[in-house]
């Protein structure tokens, strides 16, 4: 998990570098496009055994996953890397809330306390009284919500679909929707705040950008493999705690790339989210 956290933060840093040359929508497209071939190869090598049967939930998982990724990558390109990753780490709180309403899971008093701590941390980071500053942070928070919605959908289909088929639905939708947005982008006029969803496609030509895209795809796959290996262990509460180390890794990488160092209020918000996340993750 420590390795996964480090590689995940590095992936965020590469995304931030790439955002100087190509749009967040293109980064999402290339990230998923290469993933399609990796998953198809894995399925060809070892065919899935589960029967499936709820194709609409597969599409829903892909849609939520795409929204989470585009919002996450966009916030990385605009705000400090550490803040973007911290806001994305609010997904466990949203998972807890969605599981309560959609899956009927119990919400203990300790969990409610953890949610209160976590969202207090969000307020410290977002600083909602400065609206012009906080809009992108709100998009980052929405990214955490959509990630939670994707995770909750997985919980409903994990017993009927092979995990690789679930991932395939994500990368397929995550490739098709950006392609669709590229096609309609010239005909759509939106406000500057949402222009990132309708960015024009510009084929990368310089070696640095192409090399970084390939490297990003490889280390993102490595991060997922390390993550899967970590969650295959028995000490899940310990693993959950260690997963939050990607926040200081991200702050470090962001600082090296020129991000401002977090102020005291932001640091306090990060600490609240980590503490709340640890509490909500423990059984």
Q: Could you give the percent of the chain with pLDDT greater than 70?
A: 92
Q: Confidence band (pLDDT; 50, 70, 90) for 240?
A: low
Q: Confidence band (pLDDT; 50, 70, 90) for 131?
A: very low
Q: What is the pLDDT of residues 105-118, one digit of tens each?
A: 777 888 888 888 88
Q: What is the pLDDT of residues 192-223, one digit of tens each?
A: 888 999 999 988 989 999 999 989 888 887 88
Segment 46-71 mean pLDDT = 86
pLDDT at 283: 54
Q: What is the pLDDT of residues 69-102, one digit of tens each?
A: 999 999 999 988 988 888 888 877 887 788 778 7
pLDDT at 129: 55
Nearest-angstrom CA–CA distance, 33 and 127 = 36
Instruction: Return mean pLDDT, the chain.
Output: 84
């Amino acid at each position: 998990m420590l390795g996964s956290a480090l590689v995940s933060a590095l992936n965020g840093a590469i995304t931030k570098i790439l955002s100087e040359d190509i749009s967040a929508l293109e980064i999402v497209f290339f990230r998923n496009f290469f993933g399609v071939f990796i998953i198809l190869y894995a399925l060809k090598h070892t065919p899935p055994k589960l029967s499936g049967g709820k194709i609409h939930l597969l599409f829903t998982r892909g849609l939520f996953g795409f929204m989470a990724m585009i919002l996450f990558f966009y916030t990385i390109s605009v705000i400090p890397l550490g803040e973007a990753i911290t806001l994305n780490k609010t997904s466990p709180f949203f998972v807890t809330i969605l599981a309560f309403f959609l899956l009927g899971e119990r919400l203990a008093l300790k969990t409610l306390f953890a949610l209160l701590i976590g969202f207090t941390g969000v307020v410290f980071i977002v600083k909602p009284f400065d609206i012009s500053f906080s809009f992108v942070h709100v998009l980052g928070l929405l990214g955490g919500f959509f990630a939670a919605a994707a995770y909750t959908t997985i919980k409903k289909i994990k017993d009927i679909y092979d995990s690789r088929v679930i991932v395939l639905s994500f990368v397929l939708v995550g490739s098709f929707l950006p392609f669709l947005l590229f096609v309609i982008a010239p005909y759509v006029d939106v406000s500057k705040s949402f222009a990132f969803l309708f960015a024009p496609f510009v084929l990368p030509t310089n070696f640095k950008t192409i090399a970084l895209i390939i490297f990003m795809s490889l280390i993102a796959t490595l991060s997922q493999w390390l993550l899967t290996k970590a969650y295959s262990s028995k000490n899940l509460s310990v693993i959950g705690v260690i997963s939050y180390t990607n926040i200081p890794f991200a702050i470090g990488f962001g600082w090296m790339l020129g991000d401002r160092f977090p102020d005291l209020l932001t640091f306090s918000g990060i600490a609240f989210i980590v503490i709340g996340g640890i509490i909500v993750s423990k059984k």
